[in-house]
Amino acid sequence: MGSRLEGKVAIVTGAGTRGDGIGNGKACAFVYAREGARVLAADVDMGLAEATAEMIRAEGGTCIPFRADVSRSEDCRALTEACIKSFGRIDVLHNNVGITNSGGPVEYAEEQWDRMMNVNAKSMFLTAKHALPHMELQGSGSIVNIGSINGERAIPFPKFAYAASKAAMIAMSREIAIQYAPKGIRSNVVLVGLIRSPIVEQNNTRLYGGDPDEMWRKRDAMSPTGKQGEVWDVANASLFFASDESRYVNGTVLPVDGGLINMVKL
């Protein structure tokens, strides 16, 4: 076990993983705990939150599972109150919740747009709304937001609402960073590129003809490194933002994409 987050408390939303393997949220919760943080692992599926907590406890870490739909204000209030009741503080708010769908403005139904913005963008607003007062009382805190390069660049498949929601996350993170900097609170974004994870396979295989192996091959070829990143790459970047090592890093966007965002054509 490490000590980079010793004595700190972290809320991780979207901490469960659907399907086989480990997703970004679960990996981040695990790395935070491994580095000494006490973790509240939240997911809309309590069973998935419990699985993450069990994984952390098996290595000697501290983790409480919590069921929350973070697109609902009352759930976010209950989430932060449970964290304060259990651990007495909130040092890290890690926003990992996100959904994705392909399509442009004509193809999207209005209901799809609303759900995308509620889950991806509104959730960040609501978790921050309820966590920030506690951080302000402490005089410290770090908000880590998991975004996407699609929030800054178009990708080969149209993802109109998803891109808009991720761009909103960047803007909200920047606004929080500036408003709360005098109060000792930071807010940064990990901009995720091509990462091999269970949710990527579940959501994107059909875009590559339905063949997972072909999808992974093509996605590897798209990366400047010739290989996609792993969920642990996202977790390690998040750990930097969560820790005091980044105490003078605020309002930034850090691509974790092997350099993909710098290419002329994605």
In this structure, the number of other CB atoms found within 10 A of the CB of residue 243 comes to 22
- Asked if the model's pLDDT at residue 1 lies above 80, the reply is no
Structural domain includes residue 262? no
The confidence score (pLDDT) of residue 139 equals 98
- Asked if the model's pLDDT at residue 206 lies above 80, the reply is no
Structural domain includes residue 4? no
The confidence score (pLDDT) of residue 264 equals 60
The confidence score (pLDDT) of residue 229 equals 95
Which ranges constitute the DSSP H helices of the chain?
24-34, 46-58, 73-87, 110-117, 123-138, 160-180, 198-204, 212-222, 231-242
Structural domain includes residue 261? no
- Asked if the model's pLDDT at residue 14 lies above 90, the reply is yes
The confidence score (pLDDT) of residue 265 equals 64
Structural domain includes residue 266? no
Structural domain includes residue 259? no
Across the range 138-166, mean pLDDT stands at 93
From 108, 162, 208, 248, active-site residue: 162
The answer, as to whether pTM is greater than 0.85, is yes
- Asked if the model's pLDDT at residue 186 lies above 60, the reply is yes
Supply the range of the domain harboring residue 102.
9-252
Q: Do 129 and 113 form a contact (C-beta atoms < 8 A)?
A: no
Query: Residue 207: CA atoms inside 13 Å, Cβ hemisphere, count?
Result: 18
The confidence score (pLDDT) of residue 68 equals 98
> What is the average pLDDT value for the chain, to the nearest integer?
94
Q: Which CATH number belongs to the domain containing residue 114 in this structure?
A: 3.40.50.720
- The count of structural domains within the chain is 1
Q: Per residue in 216-256, pLDDT tens?
A: 898 899 899 999 999 999 999 999 999 999 999 999 999 99
- Asked if the model's pLDDT at residue 215 lies above 90, the reply is no
Structural domain includes residue 97? yes
Using DSSP's 3-state secondary structure scheme, residue 229 falls into strand
Structural domain includes residue 125? yes
- Asked if the model's pLDDT at residue 43 lies above 80, the reply is yes
pLDDT band at 54 (very low <50, low <70, confident <90, very high): very high
DSSP assignment letter at 19: S
The confidence score (pLDDT) of residue 243 equals 98
Cα dihedral 16, 88, 147, 109 sign: positive
pLDDT band at 197 (very low <50, low <70, confident <90, very high): confident
- Asked if the model's pLDDT at residue 38 lies above 80, the reply is yes
DSSP assignment letter at 185: E
Q: Is 162 a catalytic residue?
A: yes
Structural domain includes residue 2? no
pLDDT band at 266 (very low <50, low <70, confident <90, very high): low
